[in-house]
Structure 1
């Protein structure tokens, strides 16, 4: 297996929890949330934002298209930071430990332009990557092959020398198909153990 020359982090559910359903369960109740999500493909609408469409315009247009849920859909925009929380602290420590060890660390994430602008001041570690590949700016999203190809072309590192952590199996599958080394993220300790096993971090640094 090739030596790892860079580690690539997904952001949502790897470094920051992203659970909109949890927010809606708290605010409008689980029963109403389930009814809304059954009628309105909010994650599909958010995919448009991740592809570079304007955040406010996209969400507000969806709200007008679904008047029965107008106020609730607008919450996706107006209260977005309450959905993208909290930080997964152990993962952030791993990011910083890798950089301290001299390992290049990249971000590869499905994230809108305006949503990333919202998150950056709240989560300073988002500024700490050596390179950032944000779908909204690239107008390509995971798990499509093109965004992975763009990473390879930009960083100049061979696919087999990239180690990528993501919480979604479909995103991991595309990376693996391109020859990347991969880790399906389920919890930060498992990711820490993988980084230690690869010789990128000592057990102490990975705590």
Structure 2
């Protein structure tokens, strides 16, 4: 089926999301590995992505690990440095799709507080036809509920949705609902996928 809408993940598709890289830079790889081994920072971030208060969740976690308190607080205080830079070729593909009239949605694990930081820093985040932000929805990928919520809201058949995400578990969850999917490993491959579906020219990226 010809896709009737294209759905982008945001982290590591449109914006690089590499907390480990940030912490390697500010504390060194060895100490960073020790902190990440002791503190489940990604689970902490998942709670934010489900809608918990950004500052409170990070600061509460920091208080539970006094040895790492200052570093954990940086997840909040310096968050934009963890989510950078944008991926220009992907942004160009988003804009090319919209210019040709293809509806483009976002489906992303993103907190309420973090999205409020990201949106003014990355103007293209306001350019989607529809945005499905997990923090506002109260559920995160790869939970089947979030995909069902997208289907119910947009009213399009699952088989007509083309979705890209950098995580295989999210891709598998979407495919299980009948979505067309592409595992994002770089904008060049994504451009080829869009060309294969007749949505953009092959050299769009």
| TM-score when normalising by structure 2 | 0.99
SS at match of 2:198: coil
User: In the alignment, what sits opposite 1:125?
Assistant: 124
User: In the alignment, what sits opposite 1:16?
Assistant: 15
User: In the alignment, what sits opposite 1:167?
Assistant: 166
SS at match of 2:163: strand
- 2:29 counterpart of 1:30: yes
| Structure 1 residue ranges, 4+ long, deviating more than 2 angstroms after superposition | none
User: In the alignment, what sits opposite 1:62?
Assistant: 61
* Mapping for residues 92-111 of structure 1, pairs under 5 Å: 92-111=91-110
Distance 1:20 1:106 in 2: 25
Q: Mind listing any 5+ residue stretches in structure 1 that lack a counterpart?
A: none
Q: CA RMSD in A?
A: 0.5
Matched residues, number: 205
User: In the alignment, what sits opposite 1:179?
Assistant: 178
| TM-score when normalising by structure 1 | 0.98
* Mapping for residues 70-81 of structure 1, pairs under 5 Å: 70-81=69-80
Deviation, structure 1 residue 203? 2.6
Distance 1:79 1:32 in 2: 18
